[in-house]
Amino acid sequence: MKEEKTYANVNIGCLTPIFRFKIVVILTNWVFQGLLYADRTEKAFKISLDLMLAALLFSAISYPIIIRLLIAFLISHTFNWMFNGQLVALAKNFGIIHNEPQKFVDYANGIKMRASIERSVNCVAVYGSLSRKDIKSTSDLDIRIIRKSGVINGLRACMFGLKERSRALIELFPLDLYIVDSVEHLNKMRQDEKPIILLDKSL
């Protein structure tokens, strides 16, 4: 009997089977929003964005404090999830999103072009099915962007990532993109995947 796969091949012992339920996958994705995989700068950026949006909403709502806090958090966190997460990449796991293989190549080249004029970006690498030459209509595009050092570059790179994820949402394209602080963070990627280097400004 073929073993049923779970979302992102999650393996957390006896709790693993619950990830076969869509509602569990969606809630988990909404709560964590990729923070478990993100590097330090991007984690700080996402959390800060949540807090800033929540603060703005909190001041605009006229309910009791606890309700205001709850509403502000729920709205800001959901907004962050939609525009600064991998919402469409999540949807492709449910068979909702399909793309022709050539679109993945074209989209990767588009990111390469936009990253080439972004001064905070040092390197753009493609992982996943495109790098394995195993692209399918239900695949997503795994991109890792190595930023240049410095606080300003970190902020600019995270804003670049936000714009790219928002673009992917609007275009309904499954983009799995992370901004990383250094090449060492890429050691978390699959060791049997040789990345395609789209852009390397250090050369």
Domain boundaries, the chain: 7-89, 96-200
As given in the structure block, the two tokens for residue 160 are: 């670049």
pLDDT at 15 over 80: no
Residue 99 has what pLDDT?
A: 92
In the chain, the percentage of residues whose pLDDT exceeds 90 is: 71
Looking at residue 95, its amino acid is: G
pLDDT of residue 41: 97
Rounded distance between C-alpha atoms, residue 175 and residue 178, angstroms = 10
User: Which pTM was predicted?
Assistant: 0.89
Inform me whether the pLDDT recorded for 19 exceeds 90.
no
pLDDT digits 0-9 by tens, 101-122: 999 999 999 999 999 999 999 9
Closest CA to 108 of 85, 87, 128, 86: 128
Strand ranges, E, within 38-174: 121-127, 141-147
Q: Which of 102, 71, 64, 80 is nearest to 31 (CA)?
A: 80
Question: In CATH terms, is domain 96-200 a member of 1.10.3470?
Answer: no
| Structure tokens that stand for 58 in this block | 């909190």
Asked whether residue 10 carries a pLDDT value surpassing 80, the answer given is: no
| Average pLDDT over every residue of 7-24 | 70
Mean pLDDT within 24-41: 92
